[in-house]
Structures are given as structure tokens and as C-alpha cells.
Amino acid sequence: MLELTLQTMPFLLEGFLNTILISLAAISLGSFVGLVLGLGRTVGPKPVQNIIGLYVHLVRATPFLVQIYIVYYVLPTTKLSIFDFSNFMAAVIALTIYTSSYTAEIVRGSLEAVPKGQWEAAAAVGMKMRQRLLNVILPQAWKLTLPPLAGVYVLVIKGTSILTVIGVVELMRQGEDAIHRHPAHIMWILFLVASLYFIYCFPILRGIKYMEKKIAAKGARSVAGDAQW
């Protein structure tokens, strides 16, 4: 078993590296796009809100597998050179779209969860929309995005395993290859693959828990700190 592990590990790690690269790229790009879309959906002009709403619903109501096929197989048939990407690029793009749609909804939900009175008070003192968002709304809203965002990030990381269908060399793909070579050890190889996913995802979930606790504690501390009067 040790021998098998030592033998397949470098091979799995090669895929794992791509899993990390693709998911990190998709998470950062998708979060940024999602933030912009979420803001546009909440405070943008009505037509913009509607277009973003349509995008979000389209992406969320279709399976990721379909999306990746469209990005990698259908778009290039238009023969437009901008759609002429490698499978690696296609993977990043499809996952970015996926991440952005969920992030946009999370951002919108947290912006709307800030009480209306906060928006009105910020407006009533003469702040411009940008100032209201930056100084009053977002500082109260961002904490609310953390737990659901962590959930989406973990979904995205695990979602990279689907990329095997367009031949991206990622962790799942390498796992499948290893199983073909050592069919007798399917259990052990799957265990190794699952462990690597776990090692990647678990700290994210824990990290968010820790941040949530820290934020809560900070609130509590400021209460305690001022209790001197």
C-alpha cells in the first residue's frame, strides 16, 4: 500500500495542482464578477437589474455539466477567435460564470439584509450612492456573505472534478487514470483522492468558522469594553 501510495501520489498531486489553480482562478474571478453583478442587481438601473437577474437565473437553473459543454464545445463552433480556448481556459471560464452567479445572489441577499433604515439614514445625510455603499452598507453586509460564500467555494472546488469530461488534467482525472492502472486498488486510490479534496476544502470551512467567531467576539468585546460607565 505504501508503495502504491508513493507511486501514485506524484501523479495525483500533478492533478491536484491544477485543481487548485483552476479553482483559485475561478473563485477569485467569479467572486469579483459576482460582487459587481450583485451590486448592479441591487442598486443599478432597472434594465441592468433585470439583465443580471436573467443571467443569474439562467446559470443557476442549468447543470454545470451543460455549461462546461457549451463553453468548450458549442462556443468554438461560432468560429469566433475569442472562443478558441484551451480546455484549461474553458474550465476557468465556465467555473467563473458558475461562481459569479451564486456570489451575485449572496451579495444581493446580504445587501438587502441590511435594514432599510441604514440606507435611508445614509441617503438622508447627503451621501452619494457610492459613499452609502462603501461607508454604511458594505461594512455591515460583508460579514453576512462569509458563511454562504464558503459553501459556494467548496462546491466550486468539488465541482472541478466534473472537468474531467473535457479532459482537463485535474485531481479526479488523475485518480481515474490511476484506477485504470491499478483496478484492484480502487478503494485506496479513491480514498487518496477524497483526502486531497478534503485537505483543500476543510481549512476553508474552518477558516470561515474562525472568522465568524472572531467577528462575533469583536462585537461582544466592544460591548464589554464600554461597560465601564
Distance, in Å, from the CA atom of 110 to the CA atom of 127, rounded to the nearest integer, reads 20
Q: Contact region for other proteins (CB under 8 A) — 78-86, 128-136, 165-173, 179-187? A: 128-136
Which among 40, 51, 42 is positioned nearest to 119, based on CA atoms?
42
Output 108 or 132, the one with its CB closest to other proteins. 132
**b/e burial code for range 30-57 (CB count within 10 A of at least 16 → b):** bbebbbbbbbbbbbeeeeeeeebbebbe
Cell of 93: 471560464
Q: What does the block give as the cell for 176?
A: 481515474
Question: Strand runs (DSSP E) across the chain, as ranges?
Answer: none
Least distance CB 209 / other proteins (angstroms):
22
Instruction: Return the number of the residue (9 or 127) whose C-beta is nearest other proteins.
Output: 127
Of the listed pieces 23-31, 66-74, 125-133, 162-170, which binds other proteins according to CB under 8 A?
A: 125-133
Q: Does 126 bind other proteins (CB under 8 A)?
A: yes
Q: Which is nearer to other proteins, 127 or 211 (CB)?
A: 127
Residue type, 58: L
Kindly state whether residue 111 participates in binding other proteins, applying the rule CB under 8 A: no
Amino acid sitting at position 205: L
Angle formed at CA 166 by CA 160 and CA 172, multiple of 5 degrees: 40
Using the rule CB under 8 A, is 123 a contact of other proteins? yes
Tally of CB atoms within 10 A around 85 = 16
Q: How many residues can be counted in the chain?
A: 229
* 117: contact with other proteins by CB under 8 A: yes
> Which of residues 78, 84, 113, 128 is near other proteins by CB under 8 A?
128
CB of 115 or CB of 167, closer to other proteins: 115
Among 5, 118, 151, 190, binds other proteins (CB under 8 A): 118
Considering only residues 28, 62, 78, 222, which one is a binding residue for other proteins as defined by CB under 8 A?
222
Site string for other proteins, 146-185 (x = CB under 8 A): ----------------------------------------
Bin 79: left if φ > 0, else alpha if -120 < ψ < 50, else beta.
Answer: left
State which residue, 133 or 171, has the beta carbon closest to other proteins: 133
**Rounded CA gap, 119 and 149, in Å?**
23
**Interface positions with other proteins (CB under 8 A):** 115, 117-118, 120-128, 131, 135-136, 139-140, 222-223, 226, 229
